A and B are shown apart, each in its own frame.
Chain A
Amino acid sequence: MNPNWAEENLQTIRTLMERSAVYRRALAPIMLFNGVVGSAGGVCGWLMQIGSAWGFVLFWSGFAMVGLIGSFLLVRRQALKDAEPFWSPPTRRLTQAMLPLFVVGLVLGVGVLVAWPHPTVAAPPTDSIEIEELFWLPAVWVVLYGCAIHSAGFFTPRGLRLFGWLFVASGCGIFLWFCLRDSIELPWWTCHLLMGFFFGVLHLAYGAYLYLTKKGKNAA
């Protein structure tokens, strides 16, 4: 008998226990879907010339809702297809890990809506520059989202944690740069560009990576 059989058995047990607790359902479609939604948001925000703080928060909150609902529908579709419970333990753990940070992001958006006076008259795009003072908001949203993804990464394949770190590091960098900048003037649409890049382009890239490196069948 192989003298290492006990170690091999333990390793097998560890691998199976990790696999049992890991969430793999529809990650690539979710990333691609959110990538498309995020990219569309960036382009629409720029084309629609949404330059007010209110407009920015409401516009992106709407896109976040579309992303969330779409993601849940994708998960549900796969669960139905595989005759598995939708609210499986890994799904529950993943949601619980992400929820607090999503709530903080939402509260932050509501705080901006409360703090900024509601525009009574639609201002022409050239005057709608409130958003320039809101550069910190996309950065903080990116950091919070990165933290949420990182937390979720403990219940998914390891790559998601690295993806979360990318958001956290980039968001912190943008935030610090915003705090330290002196006289650099940026056009209002830079906020939409940032949102579109992080919540759109990066998700598309990660989704494509997941599709290309996908092994076997997804499981909850």
Chain B
Amino acid sequence: MNPEPFLQLDRVIHEKGRLAIMSMLAAAPELSFTELRNALTMTDGNLTTHIRALQQEGYISVAKSYQNNRPLTTCSLTPAGRKAFAEYINLLEKIIRQTRSK
């Protein structure tokens, strides 16, 4: 099996928690911190750490606002994040094709 596609996988996205966040955001224009936390059953601290890592990589943008006098944090994929996610999926598909052709 050619290990090249596997080596090309984006390590930032490949982590289970961050992959879940990227997947959720890929299907929605934006999601609130609460929505992500509830859907992924993560702790606040865990989610914050992953969001920060993705934000530092430039894959997601975080917006803070107020709704009904309560702070509201929303996350969305940046164009770079969308591109990186699409590339990650393409590589996964490539790996699957390789595995099947064996």
- List chain B positions with a Cβ less than 8 A from chain A: 19-20, 23-32, 34-35, 38-40, 67-68, 70, 72, 74, 89, 92-93, 95-96, 99
A-B contact sample (17 more), CB < 8 A, given A16-B24, A80-B68, A220-B35 = A3-B99, A4-B99, A6-B96, A13-B23, A13-B92, A16-B23, A16-B27, A16-B40, A17-B27, A20-B24, A21-B27, A21-B28, A83-B34, A84-B34, A85-B72, A89-B28, A89-B31
- List chain A positions with a Cβ less than 8 A from chain B: 3-4, 6-7, 9-10, 12-13, 16-21, 80, 82-85, 88-90, 217, 219-220
Contact A7 B96 (CB under 8 A): yes
Contact B20 A12 (CB under 8 A): yes
Contact A85 B32 (CB under 8 A): yes
CA A7 to CA B39, docked complex, whole Å: 22
Most buried by A among B19, B35, B96: B35
Interface class of chain B by DSSP: helix
Q: Which of A3, A84, A217 contacts B32 (CB 8 A)?
A: A84
CA A49 to CA B4, docked complex, whole Å: 77
CA A10 to CA B26, docked complex, whole Å: 13
Closest residue of A by beta carbon distance from B93: A10
Contact B24 A82 (CB under 8 A): no
How far is the CB of A198 from the nearest CB of chain B, in Å?
33
CA A88 to CA B30, docked complex, whole Å: 9
How far is the CB of B101 from the nearest CB of chain A, in Å?
13
Q: Which residues of B contact A82 (CB under 8 A)?
A: 34, 38
CA A90 to CA B24, docked complex, whole Å: 12
Contact B38 A20 (CB under 8 A): no
How far is the CB of B91 from the nearest CB of chain A, in Å?
9
Closest residue of B by beta carbon distance from A24: B39
Q: Which of A12, A13, A20 contacts B31 (CB 8 A)?
A: A20
Contact B25 A89 (CB under 8 A): no
Contact B92 A9 (CB under 8 A): yes
CA A20 to CA B96, docked complex, whole Å: 24
How far is the CB of B59 from the nearest CB of chain A, in Å?
15
CA A10 to CA B100, docked complex, whole Å: 15
Known: A17-B23, A83-B34. A219 touches B39 (CB 8 A): yes
CA A83 to CA B33, docked complex, whole Å: 10
27 intermolecular pairs with C-beta atoms under 8 Å apart: A4-B99, A6-B92, A7-B96, A7-B99, A10-B96, A12-B19, A12-B20, A12-B23, A13-B19, A13-B23, A13-B92, A16-B20, A16-B24, A16-B27, A17-B23, A17-B24, A20-B24, A20-B26, A20-B28, A21-B28, A80-B68, A83-B72, A84-B35, A85-B67, A85-B72, A88-B32, A217-B38
